[in-house]
Structure formats: structure tokens, C-alpha cells
A = this chain, B = another copy of it.
């Protein structure tokens, strides 16, 4: 590890400068106005992949945002690693809760503070720098391919077709991804499960215009009240989602596997303290980690209706809206769940309002067996850099495209994430500790080394 430590020490300022160049591009994929920024980010990635030592790099158009692809083929018989990452980021609302400009990264308290610092600009960039290190020091024993997309935060709608269209180009033995977290800075872990996602917008319409709440209040159903009532019925007092058939395909985890998961260090008191909540709430009969790792969820991600400005305006609003997401687990089918939700939600709609449910995006869950050779190579890499084996952990988050890779390309993914739970990804004040960033760059080349040795 000495060589890599020295390389990082000599180049770290440049590494950060380059990363910051990428972060400064506000590549928010869910907001149409940021489309030009997606192209800027794609160009930036192309530049960095080439500079790191790729034979070639190219920007591919899709129906949505562009994909940057680059590769270095050292030997047709060597194993091939396909690095996947994403250049797009989440919106920054509520902007007033940020301490610094989300697109002007600063280093403070040993962390990078910015939107995308972790998710996924910071984490994906570790692979570019690890690759650079291996190339410059003649250590590369695998072929490397980079595929950096621009629609991960909106469910990767264009990437399945991109994979279909470029199966040959993307051929690889394993996909390597850093877009997840590890348990703690001194407790390395590899994510062996990801939740899927179904996301809907729900619109409730009452009267055809906003009404005077005095003249009509009490006689005309209020769509805000109705929406609340309907959403309130979606989770019962035991934390169970009430959609009929919702749990039908959920794989029940064995007691043995639940026991192994429970070995990960976890303090409920610390957890509650860090969130400033008195009590947790979730499905009865499951621990907090199980609730996010192996059980589905049902969350209102946003809702609005009526007067939301200053002061007290009385009005009986014409409309109410909610954005709702469900995190899914193996083997729930997100398309089936979308139908079940739509049917149920519309079935409980009272006749005095109109209710419409629009699916916005979705993706299936993913599972990785811990006896996969690439998993074992990754395990060894962590032992090299951290001095201990990583815990196989199931994450509550979703990377919908990971299941698609398996389905379309027939390739499993290894989720070597170096994020931390405190990185506030998707939230104001997203951050990424420098230690995690550099440990990622230290660990990744070891994976290549062990993976090449296993494939000799």
C-alpha cells in the first residue's frame, strides 16, 4: 500500500481540484433547465477519463441525458471490469438550509461540502483516480471500461436501451460501483442488497376553482382534507402498508441471515439522538436495520395544496397533490406494485373528488451472493486497506439500474461504497469526508489486483 499512499500524497491537491471542477457543474437531472449542464458534466468526465490513461472516451447521446463511455483494453484475455457511476445529482431544495453554496465545494472539518460531494461525483471520481494510479504505475492487470450516466437520480430511464444497444462494447466480467455507504469509517462493509423503488404523483381535485372557505366550507369536500385522509389510510398502526397484495412477493429472510445482519454495530439510542427523534416508527416485528434493508417502505416525499404563503389566508383549495415513493425489496416487481397502488388508491377515493395516480419512475431491488468470486476479491481488497473484512450489508437505498445490468448485460455488480450515513446525500449540506475519498482510491486498485489473480 506504500506506493498508492505516496501517489495520493503527491497528487491529492490536483485530485480535489479536478473533482471540484466536476462538482461546480449543477447537473440536476430532474430539472429540465439543467440539460446543458448534463453535457458539460459528460465532457468533463470524458476529459478526466482520457487524462487518466484511457485508450479512448466518447460521449453517447441517448433519448435523455448523455452517457460518457471510455475504456482501456490491455489484453483481450484479461478479465474486464466495467466501472459504473453517475454524473447527475439531486435538486438542492430547500436551498435556505444549506450553510454554503451547494455548487461551490468547500473543505471544512476534513470534509468536502457540496451537492454531489458523495453522491455520486465524489465516489465515482475515486475510480478515475485509482485507474490513473494503476496506469501511471504499470499496475493494471484488467481491462477497464467506464460508463458514467446522467439519469441515475431520475431512475436511469435511458440506460437500459443504451445497454441493449451496446452489449458488445459493455462486455465485462464484473461491474464495479461506488454509490453506496459503509457502516462506519472503521467498519468497512459491502452492500449486498439494494431496495427497488416505485414513485408516483397523486393529484386530488375537488371543486373546479379555489373556493371561499366560509361560503362553501362544510358543504364541499376539501381535496387537502381528502388527500390527508387517503394517505393516512396507507399505513396501519403496526406500520404495515395496507395496499392489498403489496407484500405477496416479498422474500422473507431466514432467521440465520437476520442474525448475521444484526452483527453490524448499531445503537438505537445514537440513531435516535442523531436524528433528534424520541422514537422510531416502522413495521412491527422488525429491527431498524431490517426495516430499511429487507422490508418495503411508503413515504410521502412531498405534498402541497392551497395557500402556503405568509399569514392566514382562508380558502377551500381546488386541488391537493403528493409525491409518494415506495422502496421495494426482492422480489417485488415495481410495475406490479405501481398497478396495485393505483388500483387501491383510486378504489378508496370518495365520489366527491377526482383522484389520479401517475407513476413517475421505478426500478427493481437487487441482491448479491457473498460467495461470488468478485465479492471475495473485494473482501480481500478491504482487508488490505482497512486490516479487516467488510460486513455484507443490505442498503435501504435504490440503484434501479443495477438489476437492469444483470437482466440486460448478464453481469453482477459489486457495490464498493465509501459513503457514510452522515454524508447527508439528497439533503442540504451534503458532504464527503476526505478520508473516505482517499481510502476509496487506496482500496480500489487492490480489488483489481485480487480480481486479476483469481481470473488467471
Question: Which residues of A does B touch, CB under 8 Å?
Answer: 30-32, 90-91, 93-94, 97, 153-155, 181, 195, 197, 199, 201, 206-222, 224-225, 227-235, 239, 275-283, 288-289, 291-292, 295-317, 320-323, 325, 327, 350-353, 360-361, 395-398, 421, 424-429
Report the nearest B residue to A361, measured CB to CB: B312
CB distance from A223 to the nearest CB of B (A): 9
**Pair A282/B218 contact, Cβ less than 8 Å:** yes
Tallying the copies of this chain within the complex gives: 2
Q: A30-B312, A310-B31 are in contact. Are A207 and B303 (CB under 8 A)?
A: no
Question: Can you spell out 30 A-B residue pairs with CB atoms less than 8 angstroms apart?
Answer: A154-B312, A155-B312, A207-B276, A208-B276, A209-B424, A209-B427, A211-B427, A212-B425, A213-B325, A214-B395, A215-B395, A218-B296, A222-B299, A224-B302, A225-B235, A225-B298, A225-B299, A228-B231, A231-B232, A232-B232, A279-B352, A280-B352, A281-B352, A300-B305, A301-B306, A301-B307, A303-B304, A303-B305, A307-B323, A312-B360
CB distance from A135 to the nearest CB of B (A): 34
CB distance from A58 to the nearest CB of B (A): 28
CA distance A381 to B211 in the complex (A): 31
**Pair A297/B426 contact, Cβ less than 8 Å:** no
**Pair A212/B426 contact, Cβ less than 8 Å:** yes
CA distance A382 to B314 in the complex (A): 31
Q: A154-B312, A224-B302, A306-B300 are in contact. Are A217 and B352 (CB under 8 A)?
A: no
**Pair A210/B426 contact, Cβ less than 8 Å:** yes
CA distance A81 to B72 in the complex (A): 92
Q: Report chain B residues within 8 Å CB of A351.
A: 278-279
**Pair B299/A93 contact, Cβ less than 8 Å:** no
CA distance A249 to B346 in the complex (A): 38
Q: Report chain B residues within 8 Å CB of A398.
A: 214, 314
CB distance from A325 to the nearest CB of B (A): 5
**Pair A306/B302 contact, Cβ less than 8 Å:** yes
Q: Report chain B residues within 8 Å CB of A219.
A: 280-282, 288-289, 291-292, 297, 396
CA distance A11 to B424 in the complex (A): 67
Name the contact of A197 in the complex, choosing from B227, B239, B314, B320 (C-beta under 8 A): B314
Report the nearest B residue to A239, measured CB to CB: B218
Q: A282-B219, A395-B214 are in contact. Are A305 and B305 (CB under 8 A)?
A: no
Q: Report chain B residues within 8 Å CB of A155.
A: 312
